[in-house]
A and B are shown apart, each in its own frame.
Chain A
């Protein structure tokens, strides 16, 4: 039996209660606010999944669009022959497999190699899909027609977000989580104390990639018409990084704190200044970097001058030793 601290149990309860309340949203509104909530929930899931890996390892992954696209295509290719839950499973396997392959190729290296590779990954996959469809498939666009409404998408994304959070929480409590925190703080030390750094990273990258692929799979019905440019849109990768960093990646709930205000503010800007969106967005980014260099959670923590309580003795020692 795990020994769970009281405050974590409270947080868990509060989180589940919050999710239960959010599940009733479609009963209140089914118009614009629901669509906006679908977008928020989408990025909440992706950003949290992204931070599962990039938070503790401090490796910036720009592969979100690649995983998202793989999930989207898992649905687009098999929608006519398999039921939707099976497609979600395919997305999980495809996302995890891709992450493992990429991880095996790049995660033994550290730092910038990984970032560069992930940046190109979405483009690479998009081109492969195009090539396959050119030579074997015929048409490049695939249709995804389902009877899902916004409400269904919202519920699925909410469920996904809850699962991502639970997974993140369990990982944090596990040996893997401890290993990752040590790697993030100092890789050399991690290796010296016997952590298999590459293996730990690859496992976590696979988990993170699988979740993002599922998000892509859930969104496929909303696209209706799947093309490589839309599915592997590099903007997805950048938005995820920006939102997650705005929130801060030191806490599991950090990205969420970034996603909600970012999406709402972006929406306000594009709704009220449709012709100046890009300029105002740019100014907003500058403001974020100046005002909140550590993200919202970092700011909150320094405001309350509270030491992170979940750090193990070892990582604290590592940090003090530096």
Chain B
């Protein structure tokens, strides 16, 4: 019984595959993806990476395909789940490279899995445009794997962004010198506090309260209460999605009023703006976009229409940009020659939803680091490099009594 239904399943899968390939006259360009569909990283990957792959593939195919030389070839996505584990990810890359013999590869989600798969992707020579991972000292990876490209830039820049914003506000006499800083104690939070804290001290801020809390801790009421007792002018949280929400919620409940309130990952989600509505106005977040750019606005609309979910205000457009870069590199080179593609990505300039991207020694040094909520939209207020469109930050109004 089980076997028969299994056979039927296989048969229908084979039929579906058959009709799919028959629909295209041209030989498709096969693009492999291995990323998380299950496990701890699945949430992030299905919010940021998978929808953008879907959107991009659909858009390219609707436009007639990918331009390779003088041919328009449809693209076919070959996708595997890495179950959030390095072993699976490595095996999937092997499968994509040697079994499916795909033409291009879209790398996995997260810093860890990108680093775990980098040696293999380098061995087969595919360009690896990392849009969902970064680290300090990226130069050493570029030296090791010259085919890796780091779209998010080094971690230092991201942690320091908020410090720069606070410094500007203080130097303009808008806020005082007292800062409370908290972080989630996992890889991300530690990486951030490691560079963020020295930057605060160097900028002459007085750290009046500092603590870390474990990942997955939902009871952050004591954290906010202690921060409030220290009476800071600004609050920085190097936080993750569940705690970014929880910290904001507690701050609102306890009427913890500061002139600058900053949360990290999670504050960029569309759901964050929806959850806090007007109360989110003035909240600073990690990341950001150029919200007034019509290209970005159009992208957001398409993202919602095709995938049924909203793009976020930081990572989604970056993930999409990585695919645009891949596409334009193929168009510029006119072939799928990996060596030539790597060379083109190293030196070329690409028009994307996050603006013109040019890699500097394989690292993109132009990134949004701080954004600010304003009536349901995030406006980028600070960026590294020469990104245009930053708005001056405003002070956060007091929480409304409700």
For residue A261, CB closer than 8 A to chain B, the reply is no
Q: Which residues of B contact A35 (CB under 8 A)?
A: 90-91, 94-95
- The answer to whether the Cβ of B191 comes within 8 Å of any Cβ in the partner chain is yes
**Min CB–CB distance A89 → chain B (angstroms):** 24
Residue A275 at the chain B interface, CB threshold 8 Å: yes
- Interface stretch, picked from A53-61, A110-118, A166-174, A220-228, is A220-228
Are the CB atoms of B187 and A32 closer together than 8 Å?
Answer: no
Chain A: interface residue total (CB-CB under 8 A): 40
Is A18 close to B, CB under 8 A? no
Which of the candidate stretches B79-87, B266-274, B288-296 sits at the interface with the other chain?
B79-87
Query: Which chain A residue has the least Cβ–Cβ distance from B144?
Result: A145
A224 touching B115 by the CB < 8 A rule? yes
Q: Which residues of B contact A130 (CB under 8 A)?
A: 185-186, 214
CB neighbours of A31 from chain B (8 A): 94, 97-99
With the chains together, A31 CA to B99 CA distance in Å? Answer: 8
A224 to B187, CA, bound (A): 15
Across the two chains, which residue of chain B brings its CB closest to A223? B86
Cα distance A249–B229 in the bound complex, in angstroms:
59
When C-beta atoms are compared, the residue in chain B nearest to A281 turns out to be B38
Is B391 at the interface (CB under 8 A from chain A)? no
How many residue pairs between the two chains, A and B, have CB atoms under 8 Å in the bound complex? 99
A273–B17 alpha-carbon span in the complex (Å): 12
Whether B190 and A138, one on each chain, are in contact in the complex, defined by CB atoms closer than 8 angstroms, is yes
Q: Are B91 and A32 in contact (CB under 8 A)?
A: yes
B327 within 8 A of A: no
> Chain B contact residues: over half helix, strand or loop, or mixed?
helix
Interface residue tally on B, bucketed by range: 35 or more
CB of A232, distance to nearest CB on chain B (Å): 12
Interface residues in B37-69 (C-beta closer than 8 Å to A):
37-40
Q: How far is the CA of A140 from the CA of B238 in the complex (A)?
A: 14
In the complex, are the beta carbons of B94 and A34 less than 8 A apart? yes
A42-B118 contact in complex given A140-B190, A141-B111, C-beta closer than 8 Å: no
How near does chain A come to B223, taking the closest CB pair, in angstroms?
A: 15
Contact present for B187 and A141 (CB under 8 Å): yes
By secondary structure, the A interface counts as helix
Q: Which residue of A lies closest to B214 (CB)?
A: A127
A229 within 8 A of B: yes
Residues of A contacting B185 in the complex (Cβ-Cβ under 8 angstroms): 130-131, 134
A196 within 8 A of B: no
Please give, as numbers and ranges, the residues of chain B lying within 8 Å of A227 by CB-CB distance.
112, 187
On chain A, the residues within 8 Å of B40 by CB distance are: 229
Q: Does A161 contact B (CB under 8 A)?
A: no
Q: Is B331 an interface residue (CB 8 A)?
A: no
Task: List chain A residues, Cβ under 8 A from B39.
Answer: 235
A139 within 8 A of B: yes
Q: A130-B186, A230-B86, A270-B88 are in contact. Are A32 and B116 (CB under 8 A)?
A: no
User: Which residues of B10-60 have CB atoms within 8 Å of chain A's CB atoms?
Assistant: 13, 37-40
Query: A225 vs B214: C-alpha distance in the bound complex, in angstroms?
Result: 21
Q: Does B347 contact A (CB under 8 A)?
A: no
User: Told that A224-B118, A287-B2 touch, could you supply 14 new A-B pairs with CB distance under 8 A?
Assistant: A35-B91, A127-B214, A134-B212, A141-B187, A143-B115, A224-B119, A225-B112, A225-B116, A227-B112, A229-B40, A230-B85, A270-B80, A270-B88, A274-B79
Q: List B residues at the A interface (Cβ < 8 Å).
A: 2, 13, 37-40, 79-81, 83, 85-88, 90-91, 94-95, 97-99, 111-112, 115-116, 118-119, 135-136, 144, 185-187, 190-191, 194, 212, 214
Top 8 nearest A-B pairs (CB, nearest first) are A31-B98, A225-B115, A35-B94, A140-B187, A32-B94, A35-B91, A224-B115, A140-B190
A-B contact pairs, 10 of them (CB 8 A): A32-B99, A42-B87, A130-B214, A134-B190, A222-B87, A223-B116, A224-B118, A229-B186, A230-B86, A272-B13
